[in-house]
Amino acid sequence: MFDEIKKEFPIFENHPHLCYLDSAASSLKPRRVIDVMSDYYKNFSCNINRGNYQLSYEATNLYESARSTIAQFINADADEIIFTRGASQSLNLVALSWGMQFIQEGDEILTSELEHHSSHMPWLNVAQNKNAFLKFIPLDAEGKITVENFYNSISSKTKIVALTFVSNVLGYVTPIKDIINICHERGIIVSIDAAQAVPHMNIDVKDLDCDFLSFSGHKMCGPFGIGVLFGKKKLLEKMNPLEFGGDMADEVNKFFHSYKDIPHKFETGTPPIAEVIGLGEACKFLQEIGLEKIYRHEKNLSEKAVEMLSVLDDVEIYNRKAETGIVSFNIRGVHSHDAATIYDKNQICVRTGHHCAQLVTKFLGQYSTTRASFYFYNDSKDVERLVASVREALEFFKSL
Ligand SMILES: Cc1ncc(COP(=O)(O)O)c(C=O)c1O
């Protein structure tokens, strides 16, 4: 079924030879997502929630119905879905609102070295402001978070556990359900960075029983500039908004204001309306294809890539047991940015650098790594082209 899928992505009409292996940064956008957004501008264009006319009522319905679609995509209730600019803003909202309100001096915030900067830095900031402790679960030799190491890291002072569901560098899947169970037996809150999980696997927040879950639209066939924070109702209701003003206000007097209920109290001002509708469409698209199938397809591709790269001398792979569609590697003695010039010449898009996760790069003892990330519009030809280019880079740089 994936043979025909490239036709759904207009970018391949303009770039027929594109080998796009950077979906962990941002996925490509299918026609139907682009179309619903442009339809919004062509047929509505107006603001929501404030116009007393038919066009605005309909626009509001479209927007709120997209919220319901997105909620259903992760099995949440619609009022538990807060729209943000992206996973970074969602993760910051948890730390700046819940964290600054409920973390106290001496409390422990437990995280890991696998975190993206957007999952780590907001908690470092809270810890510094509140004289709390930021603690790290030791990774195992491969770089994974294990339940055993997690268990040994919690204490009676642990207030919140903030972890990535899937590492954006190594693609490892955190045993998050077991971790959440252990946390909830002790009254510890769990915030999950699911930016690399929601686009690739079935996520059911009720089954996981997580307290907060953050993700971005642009990594899951949706638009840029839209992200989601899921939060449990009882937590969101107790949290203070971070921004004040239009649309979130209820009653406003000179020296008193009140605001709307969740989720609106966290959504100040005019929202990115077309982007929300676009993300709703992306959820429908992914659901129609099936997350199980997507996950298996990209895992097969990354396993094939690992197998083929493994036979090349001087290629160091950092996640030999690929658990998702991510493969991270380097050519020994060649800076990944230099090698990337060869991949780019061959129209292969990969990401090199620290991937906004410097703790992981440091754990690997590197300054920079190459990441190929597969999605369902990739196929085995893409793997072969990548490996051929790595071979070319090896021959070129080693002959210098
Ligand atoms: C694991 C992870 N968390 C958070 C983010 C931040 O996402 P955004 O840039 O969309 O805010 C990313 C983006 O690469 C990511 O991979």
Among 272, 288, 304, identify where a domain stops: 288
Measured distance CA(122)–CA(127) in Å, rounded: 9
- 167 and 145 share a domain? yes
Q: Which of the four pLDDT bands, split at 50, 70 and 90, describes residue 234? A: very high
Neighbours of 273 (CB within 10 A): 24
Active-site residue (options: 19, 183, 283, 356): 356
Among 288, 319, 336, identify where a domain stops: 288
Place of tokens 């030791």: 138
In testing the pocket of ligand 1, which one of 91, 114, 117, 168 has its CB within 8 Å of the most ligand atoms? Answer: 168
Tell me whether residue 390 is in a domain: yes
pLDDT digits (tens, 9 = 90+) for 161-210: 999 999 999 999 999 999 999 999 999 999 999 999 999 999 999 999 99
Res 399: pLDDT: 81
Instruction: Pinpoint the alpha helices (H) of the chain.
Output: 11-14, 31-43, 54-73, 87-93, 100-102, 117-130, 147-153, 176-185, 205-208, 233-238, 273-289, 291-310, 336-345, 358-363, 380-398
Among 288, 323, 351, identify where a domain stops: 288
User: Are the C-beta atoms of residues 186 and 158 closer than 8 Å to each other?
Assistant: yes
Residue 78 has pLDDT above 90, yes or no: yes
Res 354: pLDDT: 92
Instruction: Give the chain's end-to-end CA distance (angstroms, integer).
Output: 44
How many domains does the chain fold into?
2
- 88 and 163 share a domain? yes
- Residue with CA at minimum distance from ligand 1 atom 9: 88
- 261 and 309 share a domain? no
- 199 and 282 share a domain? yes
- 295 and 366 share a domain? yes
Give me the mean pLDDT over the 360-373 stretch: 95
Tell me whether residue 194 is in a domain: yes
Residue 151 has pLDDT above 80, yes or no: yes
Residue 3 has pLDDT above 80, yes or no: no
Res 143: pLDDT: 96
Tell me how far the alpha carbon of residue 248 lies from the centroid of ligand 1, in angstroms.
26
User: Are the C-beta atoms of residues 1 and 293 closer than 8 Å to each other?
Assistant: yes
Tell me whether residue 13 is in a domain: no
The residue range of the domain holding 51 is 32-288
The pocket around ligand 1, CB under 6 angstroms, is made up of 25, 86-88, 116, 118-119, 164, 168, 193, 195-196, 216, 227, 356
Give me the mean pLDDT over the 72-87 stretch: 98
pLDDT digits (tens, 9 = 90+) for 244-275: 999 999 999 999 999 999 999 999 999 999 99
Region label for 333, one of left (φ > 0), alpha (ψ between -120 and 50) or beta (otherwise): left
Q: Which atom of ligand 1 is nearest to the CA of 118?
A: 4
Residue 94 tokens read as 């948890």
Tell me whether residue 240 is in a domain: yes
In testing the pocket of ligand 1, which one of 23, 27, 88 has its CB within 8 Å of the most ligand atoms? Answer: 88
State yes or no: is 356 an active-site residue. yes
Res 295: pLDDT: 98
- Residue with CA at minimum distance from ligand 1 atom 7: 87
- 283 and 323 share a domain? no
DSSP string of 24-71, one letter each residue: TT-----HHHHHHHHHHHHHT-S-SSS--SHHHHHHHHHHHHHHHHHH
- 157 and 110 share a domain? yes
- 300 and 389 share a domain? yes
Q: Which atom of ligand 1 is nearest to the CA of 26?
A: 14
CATH number for the domain harbouring residue 380: 3.90.1150.10
CATH number for the domain harbouring residue 132: 3.40.640.10
Residue 51 has pLDDT above 90, yes or no: no
Tell me whether residue 1 is in a domain: no
Tell me whether residue 2 is in a domain: no
- 231 and 102 share a domain? yes
Tell me how far the alpha carbon of residue 112 lies from the centroid of ligand 1, in angstroms.
15
Mean predicted lDDT score pLDDT of the chain = 97
